[in-house]
Amino acid sequence: MKRGSTLFLKIAVFLIGAPVLGLCLFLLPQIAMEAIEQAQKGGELAYVVFGILIILYGSAVPFYVALYQALKLLSYIDKSEAFSQNSVIALKKIKLCAITISGLYLVALPLIYIIAEWDDAPGLILIGLVVMGASIVIAVFAAVLQRLLQEAIHIKSENDLTV
C-alpha cells in the first residue's frame, strides 16, 4: 500500500478526533455550568445532566484510545508489518474500546429517556441509539478483521515452515 493512502487515513483519524475534542473542551463544560446553575436553583433534572456528562466524558477516553490504536495500525501498514501480532492486538483493543463505548451509551439511555420525556424530544433517544449502534458495528468489524488477520498470520507461518 502506498504511503499516501495511509497518510490520508491518518489525516482522517485526526479529523474524526477533532470535533470530539472540541465538544469535550467547549460544549460539554458549558452544559455543565448551566446544570450547576439549575442545581443551585433546585432543579432536579440537573443531576440527570451530570450523569450524562460523566458518561460522555467517560466515553471520550475509549474513543481516543481506539483512535490511537488506529494510528498504530496504520503505522504498522506503513512499515509493512500489517500481518503481525501487533496488528491483531491493535484490532483487539479497538474492538474492546467500541464495546466499552456501546456499554456506556447503553447505561446512558435511561438518563437520556428522562431528559427526552421532560423536554418532549424523542430524537435524543435516537441519537444515543445511533452512537451505540455505530459502536457495535465498529466492534463487529474489528472482530472480523482480527479473526481474518489471525488466520492470515497462521497460514503465513505454516507456509514459512514448509519452505
Q: Which helix (H) or strand (E) holds 130?
A: helix 123-162
Confidence of residue 156 (pLDDT cuts 50, 70, 90): confident
pLDDT in tens, 71-125: 999 999 999 888 899 999 999 999 999 999 999 999 999 999 999 888 888 788 9
**Contacts of residue 79, Cβ cutoff 8 Å, sequence gap at least 6:** none
Count of CB atoms situated within 10 Å of the CB of 62: 21
**Half-sphere exposure in the Cβ direction for 8 (13 Å, CA):** 5
Report pLDDT for 163: 57
88, 32 Cβ separation under 8 angstroms: no
Question: What are the tens digits of pLDDT across the range 27-69?
Answer: 999 999 999 998 898 888 889 999 999 999 999 999 999 999 9
Say whether pLDDT at 2 is over 80.
Answer: no
